[in-house]
C-alpha cells in the first residue's frame, strides 16, 4: 500500500530505534505512516551491506530522517583509527537520487558519491580516531520530502 504524503510527518535525523520504540511522540495515524517508511528504509539498509563486498557489520546506529528536494543534512560521526568503514545511503520510493559526502574534522573532503542513484556509498579507513562529518544531499525527491537512511558499516 502506498502512503499518502499528507500522512507523512517531518522527522529529521531521528534514529530508527527511537522512532520504532516510541521515544518520539506522534499521533497514531502519523506514527503508523512514519513506521512504514522507517521500516522501508531499515530493510533497504539491511540489504545494502552486500554492496560493500566483504565481512562488514553495522558499527553505528542507522541514521534515518527526512529531507525535501535539494535539502541537505550533516551527520556527525565518531570513527576509529584503522577500521575500514563503508557508509551507505538509501531513500524511500519517492526519491530518485541521494548523495553522500564524507569530510574529516577540518571539513576536508575524503570521499563522495554524487552519481545519479539512490544508493550512494563512501568509504574511509581513518588514520586517527576522531570526528567526521557526513553530508546527505537529497538531489531528487518527488514528494514534499523523502525519507533517507544511512548505514555505517565497518570491518
pLDDT given at position 38: 87
Parallel, antiparallel or unpaired: strands 146-154 and 85-91: antiparallel
What is the CA 17 to chain-centroid distance, rounded? 14
Give the Cα separation of 16 and 19 in Å (integer): 5
pLDDT tens for residues 55-84? 899 999 999 999 999 999 999 999 999 999
pLDDT given at position 32: 54
pLDDT given at position 144: 93
Burial of 63 (0-12, 13-18, 19+ CB in 10 A): buried
* Mean pLDDT, 10 residues at a time, the chain of 155 residues: 35 41 40 74 89 90 94 97 97 94 97 96 97 97 94 96
Assess contact for 13 and 75: CB atoms under 8 A: yes
pLDDT given at position 14: 43
pLDDT given at position 37: 85
DSSP three-state, residue 107: coil
Residues 6+ apart with CB under 8 A from 84: 54, 123, 125, 154, 155
pLDDT given at position 20: 37
Question: Kindly report the CA angle at 78 between 112 and 107, in degrees rounded to 5?
Answer: 45
Give the Cα separation of 14 and 35 in Å (integer): 12
pLDDT given at position 46: 87
Domains in the chain, please, with CATH?
10-154 (2.60.120.380)
Amino acid at each position: 500500500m502506498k502512503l499518502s504524503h499528507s500522512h507523512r510527518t517531518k522527522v529529521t535525523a531521528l534514529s530508527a530505534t527511537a522512532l520504532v520504540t516510541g521515544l518520539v511522540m506522534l499521533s497514531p495515524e502519523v506514527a503508523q505512516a512514519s513506521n512504514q517508511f522507517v521500516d522501508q528504509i531499515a530493510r533497504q539498509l539491511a540489504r545494502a551491506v552486500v554492496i560493500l563486498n566483504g565481512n562488514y557489520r553495522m558499527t553505528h546506529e542507522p541514521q534515518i530522517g527526512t529531507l525535501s528536494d535539494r535539502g541537505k543534512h550533516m551527520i556527525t560521526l565518531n570513527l576509529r583509527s584503522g577500521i575500514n568503514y563503508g557508509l551507505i545511503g538509501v531513500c524511500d520510493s519517492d526519491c530518485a537520487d541521494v548523495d553522500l559526502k564524507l569530510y574529516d574534522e577540518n571539513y576536508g573532503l575524503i570521499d563522495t558519491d554524487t552519481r545519479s542513484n539512490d544508493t550512494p556509498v563512501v568509504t574511509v579507513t581513518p588514520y586517527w580516531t576522531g570526528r567526521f562529518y557526513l553530508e546527505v544531499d537529497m538531489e531528487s525527491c518527488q514528494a514534499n520530502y523523502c525519507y533517507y537512511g544511512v548505514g555505517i558499516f565497518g570491518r
